[in-house]
Chain A
């Protein structure tokens, strides 16, 4: 139940975030010039779509808040709480590793021929058990696919990798 409650709170935050985004879009269209040839101009569609998104988000937020209230009531009625799920947040770890790799591509301190296989090795190891067998497999895959894909994209597909 706690997990369900957490999920609903996150969902509510997602809709609030979308409404904030809509507000930012509407504000950013204020300075756009009006069109002389047709009544809509550059700003009408972004504003209209933002209003729609905000309305849908508000509707879904209302539903989610009602669910949260019910879940809270049910949780207070049955005080024994579930043990938190054991999780190493693999998605979060993956995002951090990808962001680090993207940062190294954006600000190339180390050449990508090194960072690419390294990225693959670290990501595989972050997602699998640290056994000798897995380390060997990860190293092999990192060298074959990491270096191979780097070579393919850089030299055959002419991608500007640092």
Chain B
């Protein structure tokens, strides 16, 4: 508790608080602009945090995360274009409500729901994390290996309509992580004669290419489309007492759904928002009104997507397993600062864990006040043409890619992965499993080889590790479920 209090007091000092304000502000803007995402912003910012203190960089990145998930509400409501995938269900009721002349009410409901969702999931983050971290310290190499495999299988099966495409993406991520010096034998592999690859692909150029460049290419391929923004007045931006009474159950239920779905490795806010919206609709006395602009739909979607942030941060801080794509990038940021994510981070760098938890809370409050006060102005940013914005972002990417190891080779790496990412989007191959595969591959390979080394090549010890077996059973069940779901969809 004192550690958290220290972190809260630290974030209240001028520099970290300013970083929190900047992070939330930029996150909201990026979230509000369709085509941009929190993953893009955070990937783009990581090179800049290289020169910052560890705790300050976490304050900035977590604030961006909170802001970006919340900002998606603005364009979903005013443009019928979800700024982030997690706001996709907000368009169903947010836009009709805005069109009927209640844009401010729609935004107000969404902002408050986001705030409540973030707050409830924060309690789970704070109270569950230490328990899980203690459990995580008991993990041996078999558990680490099977946990990484489970995380990959989960994201591969849930992130795309096609299981095979999800698995292909995850496998490609693993393959990209392999070039360089093999840590077990010390021999060079898959460098194809490029001495720049002796240390492997740097995380930042790969992330910038896959997330930022590919999205920029996607937006560039459709520049010039008209953008129409519905104006929102500043009246009725806050929820009334009646709203609170009517939405209390919906908010609590959606918060719990969001937190739980966020907690599952690889499943992000978009799934949370869809599940929560569906549950709210199914349990409503007037399900036929969903999609016509009713408050319940906005509240269900926005509460759940913000609740997924706290949920997704739990496996990140306790086990070093990303709960979502953005969390995978945050793991990359920790690695860049020589911090090893996982249960031992609680022992070696508790201030980092406390900063992450404290920032999630403070950024949630900052997001609430910032969005309540500035939503109208932020909405106008959605109309800046991509043809002006994308070149500036591309330039930031290129310079950011060079900055990590001062090597122009990384510009070529970014461009190459940008094209790979663009091709993947074009062929509907999800990016999430790729990044999580890239990040978890080393953990999976080194754990498996360490385990096999200890058992002289025998797989028998795995049978005596119930947690590892449980992870592998979940993996198999998830894959079987996805295959059956795919077959059922094909028949329909």
B187/A14 in contact, CB under 8 A: no
Residues of A within 8 A of B406 (CB): 159-160
Can you list, as one digit per residue, whether each of B185-200 has a CB less than 8 Å from chain A (1) or not (0)? 1010110100000000
Residues of A within 8 A of B422 (CB): 91
A45 at the interface (CB under 8 A from B): yes
A146/B168 in contact, CB under 8 A: no
> Shortest distance in angstroms between B261's beta carbon and chain A's nearest beta carbon?
26
Residue of B nearest to A145 (CB): B392
A111 at the interface (CB under 8 A from B): no
Q: How far is the CA of A116 from the CA of B391 in the complex (A)?
A: 11
A75 at the interface (CB under 8 A from B): no
A127/B395 in contact, CB under 8 A: no
B174/A49 in contact, CB under 8 A: yes
Residues of A within 8 A of B220 (CB): 90-91, 94, 127
Residues of A within 8 A of B412 (CB): 102, 106
A3 at the interface (CB under 8 A from B): no
Can you list, as one digit per residue, whether each of B386-423 has a CB less than 8 Å from chain A (1) or not (0)? 11101110111011001100101101100100010011
Q: Which residues of B160-202 are within 8 A (CB) of A?
A: 162, 164-165, 167-168, 171-172, 174-175, 178, 182, 184-185, 187, 189-190, 192
Contact for B391 among A33, A106, A123, CB less than 8 A: A123
Q: Which residues of A106-140 are within 8 A (CB) of B?
A: 106, 116, 119-120, 123-124, 127-128, 137-138
Residue of A nearest to B444 (CB): A45
> Shortest distance in angstroms between B200's beta carbon and chain A's nearest beta carbon?
12
A56/B164 in contact, CB under 8 A: yes
B185/A42 in contact, CB under 8 A: yes
Residues of B within 8 A of A141 (CB): 388, 391-392
> Shortest distance in angstroms between A12's beta carbon and chain B's nearest beta carbon?
10
Q: How far is the CA of A157 from the CA of B405 in the complex (A)?
A: 12
Interface residues on chain A, number (Cβ under 8 Å): 58
Residue of B nearest to A40 (CB): B449
> Shortest distance in angstroms between B194's beta carbon and chain A's nearest beta carbon?
12
Q: How far is the CA of A54 from the CA of B50 in the complex (A)?
A: 37
Residues of B within 8 A of A105 (CB): 402, 408, 411
Residue of A nearest to B452 (CB): A38
B488 at the interface (CB under 8 A from A): no
> Shortest distance in angstroms between A127's beta carbon and chain B's nearest beta carbon?
4
- From B175, B184, B221, B412, name the one whose CB has the most chain A CB atoms within 10 angstroms: B175
A127/B223 in contact, CB under 8 A: yes
Q: Which residues of A34-56 are within 8 A (CB) of B?
A: 35, 37-43, 45-46, 49-50, 52-53, 56
A39/B164 in contact, CB under 8 A: no
CB within 8 Å: A-B pair count: 152
A149/B395 in contact, CB under 8 A: yes
**Chain B contact residues: over half helix, strand or loop, or mixed?**
helix
Residue of B nearest to A21 (CB): B175
A124/B387 in contact, CB under 8 A: yes
Q: How far is the CA of A95 from the CA of B412 in the complex (A)?
A: 11
Residues of A within 8 A of B457 (CB): 38-39
Q: Say yes or no: A14-B427 contact (C-beta < 8 A), given A102-B415, A161-B402.
A: yes
Residues of B within 8 A of A38 (CB): 184, 449, 452-453, 457
Q: Say yes or no: A101-B390 contact (C-beta < 8 A), given A38-B457, A46-B178.
A: no
B445 at the interface (CB under 8 A from A): yes
Q: How far is the CA of A28 from the CA of B388 in the complex (A)?
A: 43
Residues of B within 8 A of A23 (CB): none
B453/A37 in contact, CB under 8 A: yes
Q: Which residues of A13-41 are within 8 A (CB) of B?
A: 14, 18, 24-25, 28-29, 32-33, 35, 37-41
- From A94, A123, A146, name the one whose CB has the most chain B CB atoms within 10 angstroms: A94
* 15 sampled A-B residue pairs with Cβ under 8 A: A40-B448, A46-B190, A49-B174, A49-B178, A56-B168, A57-B168, A60-B165, A94-B216, A95-B217, A99-B415, A102-B412, A119-B395, A124-B387, A149-B396, A157-B48
Q: List 10 other contacts, CB 8 Å, given A41-B185, A53-B175, A120-B391.
A: A32-B189, A37-B184, A39-B457, A40-B448, A42-B182, A45-B174, A46-B175, A95-B217, A98-B394, A137-B388
Which of B's residues lie within 8 Å of A, judged by CB?
47-48, 50-51, 162, 164-165, 167-168, 171-172, 174-175, 178, 182, 184-185, 187, 189-190, 192, 216-217, 220-221, 223, 385-388, 390-392, 394-396, 398-399, 402-403, 406, 408-409, 411-412, 415, 419, 422-423, 426-427, 445, 448-449, 452-453, 457
Which of A's residues lie within 8 Å of B, judged by CB?
7, 10-11, 14, 18, 24-25, 28-29, 32-33, 35, 37-43, 45-46, 49-50, 52-53, 56-57, 59-60, 90-91, 94-95, 98-99, 101-102, 105-106, 116, 119-120, 123-124, 127-128, 137-138, 141, 145-146, 149-150, 153, 157, 159-161
